[in-house]
Amino acid sequence: MAAITDLSGSLAVVTGGTRGVGAGITRALLEAGAQVVICARRAPDRPVEAAGRTARFLPVDLRDPEATGGFFERVRGDYGRLDTLVNNAGGTPFRMLDEGRAEHHARVVGLNLVAPLTASIAAYEMMRRQSGGGSIVMVGSVSGSRPSPGTAAYGAAKAGLENLARSMAVEWAPRVRVNTLVVGMVRTELAHLHYGDEDGITAVGRTVPLGRLAEPADIGDACVFLASDRAAYISGAALHVHGGGERPAFLDAATVDN
Q: State the catalytic residues.
A: 154
The Cα–Cα gap between 196 and 208 comes to: 17
Contact yes or no for 239/180 (Cβ under 8 A): yes
The Cα–Cα gap between 2 and 52 comes to: 14
The Cα–Cα gap between 34 and 11 comes to: 6
Question: φ and ψ at 179, to 5 degrees?
Answer: -140, 165
**Vertex 118: Cα angle to 145 and 15 (nearest 5):** 75
Which residues, at least 6 apart from 4, have a Cβ–Cβ distance to it below 8 Å?
none
Distance of CA 197 to the CA centre of its chain: 25
Peptide bond into 174 cis (omega under 30): yes
The Cα–Cα gap between 186 and 189 comes to: 10
Q: Which one, of 92, 90, 203, lies nearest residue 150 by Cα?
A: 92
Which residues, at least 6 apart from 197, have a Cβ–Cβ distance to it below 8 Å?
none
Side chain identity at residue 252, one-letter code = D
| Helix spans in 129-238 (H) | 152-171, 191-195, 198-205, 216-227
